[in-house]
Amino acid sequence: MSSGRTVPTRSHGLGKEGATGSGASQVEFGDPELTAEINHAMVQVEELLHKELSSGQEFLVDKVMHLTKAGGKRFRPMFALLASKFGEKPLSEDVIKAAVVVEITHLATLYHDDVMDEATMRRGVPSANARWDNSVAILAGDILLAHASRLMSQLGTETVAHFAETFGELVTGQMRETIGPRDTDPIEHYMEVIREKTGVLIASAGYLGSLHAGAAAEHIDALKKFGAAIGMIFQIVDDIIDIFSETHESGKTPGTDLREGVFTLPVLYAMREETEVGAQLREILTGPLTDDETVEKVLALLSQSGGRQAALDEVYRYMDIANAELDRLPDNSVKDALRELATFTVKRVG
């Protein structure tokens, strides 16, 4: 894979990178029994992840364990486990496998994404391309896909077929972002990219977790669509934080996407405004921003614009979709936990 792209892509992050450290993180849900069950199953996920990724040549193992050990939130496998609670066989062996398949796929995309973004850090450690080089990072991503394929072959053809679609959408999203909006609407382009790059794999976690627990088709569908909506919320919120948060709040320097020439939803809305602020932004934002002074100026213009509010309106729209999908599920403490998760994500930006 080449990093010679026409349009820059961005480093995504659902919150603070490397926030949980390595190993299974302990998460609290409202219901202590659910908390204990999920945390116990997350330990099983972690064990299988390490077992699977430790097989093979030592010179490959150390490369794939680099980001695995660096932690990450393990949000996707945890959602797969929660989704499985709507089926007859919650947290079964196949559910654990499915959760691991999703996390390994996610890891593979991170290795490849960091090559394309020329990222230097990931999960609080040097990215694989920085620690070794692009070839090593690409091959590490590839071997991760081999591991994911091996595990998913044990889960049956429905899972393999589902993953063919998922891979296809991930790659389509990355390619769509790489070539840029061209003559299409930039906001529609942004929405489609984040759906494909972020929404699809979270949807997959909901789908596979509930499918392998034997949940009803209606509930599998709701959990898949809830995951897709949550993915959109996470990504838009992250993009709002990149522009509008103070450094100490987000742990990241505001305007990172702007510096890379990536114009996210709040920026796209602000640039569309028929105001003096909109006109100035359209004039300045023609590529990556190289000096701090211009970044500061653009950030100031953006805070005078309606970009933040317009992006937030989209977040609330997806929040309504997420809640409507949850309404299709039976009432229980898992549903409460999922609703809380969606609310928490939005609260990060007020």
Interacting residue ranges for ligand GRG, rule: CB under 6 A: 12-15, 17, 72-73, 75, 106, 108-110, 112-113, 123, 141, 145, 167, 170-171, 174, 197-198, 235
> Taking the complex as a whole, how short is the minimal distance between the CB of residue 186 and ligand GRG, in angstroms?
19
Residue 170 or 271: which CB sits closer to ligand GRG? Answer: 170
Q: How far apart are the first and last CA of the chain?
A: 39
CB neighbour burial string for 254-268, b if at least 16 within 10 angstroms, e if fewer: bbbbbbbbbbbbbbb
> Taking the complex as a whole, how short is the minimal distance between the CB of residue 269 and ligand GRG, in angstroms?
20
Residue 195 or 197: which CB sits closer to ligand GRG? Answer: 197
Residue 14 or 95: which CB sits closer to ligand GRG? Answer: 14
CA 153 from chain centre, in angstroms, equals 24
> Taking the complex as a whole, how short is the minimal distance between the CB of residue 105 and ligand GRG, in angstroms?
6
Q: Contact 107/235 with Cβ under 8 angstroms?
A: no
CB neighbour burial string for 25-60, b if at least 16 within 10 angstroms, e if fewer: bebebeeeebbebbbebbebbbebbeebbeeeeeeb
Would you say how long the chain is, in residues?
A: 350
Residue 31 or 142: which CB sits closer to ligand GRG? Answer: 142
> Taking the complex as a whole, how short is the minimal distance between the CB of residue 330 and ligand GRG, in angstroms?
28
> Taking the complex as a whole, how short is the minimal distance between the CB of residue 184 and ligand GRG, in angstroms?
20
Instruction: Please enumerate in sequence order all residues whose Cβ is within 8 A of that of 138, keeping only pairs 6 or more positions apart, or say none.
Output: 1, 111, 112, 115
Residue 111 or 281: which CB sits closer to ligand GRG? Answer: 111
